[in-house]
């Protein structure tokens, strides 16, 4: 794959689609465009079934199987580093792309870890990622804290159009 076509960054986020409904999303940042990939519940179920079958075939027990499933989903987005923008878009009918030059404003609010009380309860707040492009506003929720790589890549791609909080 040509260097220009390789993703610079892949972020796993959730897109709010109502009061309590969220859809798992991946934002794949290429040099000239950003691709939005949504993991439909059906696709998530198919992938989980494939991994479950593999775990059973390998004879892994409950704990090792659970760890394998968690590992699979925590690294799922890494596959996009091998995909062209067209391949990502073709995965799901909801997927789309926006040319980076059309992104007018972007705000990346990091995860607020907050305080932990004596009972172990935390008041952590999800990070928020908001941007405007082509007259539309997009909002995502994420679990990223302060990450220099994210800052560097987004600043490289969007310059003064991106703000960090």
Q: What is the DSSP string of 38-84?
A: E--HHHHHHHHHHHHHHHHHTT--HHHHHHHHHHHHHTGGGGGGG--
Q: SS3 for 95?
A: coil
Residue 42 CA to residue 30 CA, distance in Å, equals 27
Domain ranges of the chain: 3-164
Tokens of 14: 């959730």
CATH number of 3-164: 2.30.29.30
Going by C-alpha positions, the residue among 14, 12, 31, 15 that lies closest to residue 136 is 15
Residues 73-127: pLDDT tens digits? 778 889 999 999 999 999 889 999 999 999 999 999 988 766 566 666 665 678 8
Q: SS3 for 100?
A: helix
Tokens of 154: 């987004």
Entry field: residues in the chain: 165
Q: Average pLDDT of the chain? A: 86
Is 80 exceeded by the pLDDT of residue 130? yes
- Per-residue model confidence (pLDDT) at position 54: 81
- Between 18 and 78, the more confident residue is 78
- Per-residue model confidence (pLDDT) at position 1: 56
Residue 105 CA to residue 140 CA, distance in Å, equals 14
């Amino acid at each position: 794959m040509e260097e220009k076509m390789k993703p610079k960054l892949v972020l796993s986020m959730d897109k709010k689609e109502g009061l309590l409904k969220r859809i798992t999303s991946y934002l794949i940042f290429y040099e000239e465009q950003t691709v939005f990939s949504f993991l439909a519940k059906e696709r998530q179920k198919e992938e989980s079934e494939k991994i479950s079958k593999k775990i059973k075939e390998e004879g892994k027990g409950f704990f090792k199987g659970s760890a394998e499933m968690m590992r699979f989903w925590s690294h799922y987005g890494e596959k996009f580093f091998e995909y062209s923008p067209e391949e990502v878009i073709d995965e799901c009918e909801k997927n789309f792309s926006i040319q980076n030059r059309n992104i007018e404003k972007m705000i990346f609010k990091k995860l607020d870890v907050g305080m932990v009380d004596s009972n172990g309860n935390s008041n952590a707040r999800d990070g928020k990622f908001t941007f405007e492009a082509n007259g539309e506003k997009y909002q995502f929720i994420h679990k990223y804290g302060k990450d220099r790589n994210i800052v560097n890549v987004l600043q490289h791609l969007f310059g003064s159009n991106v703000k960090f909080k």
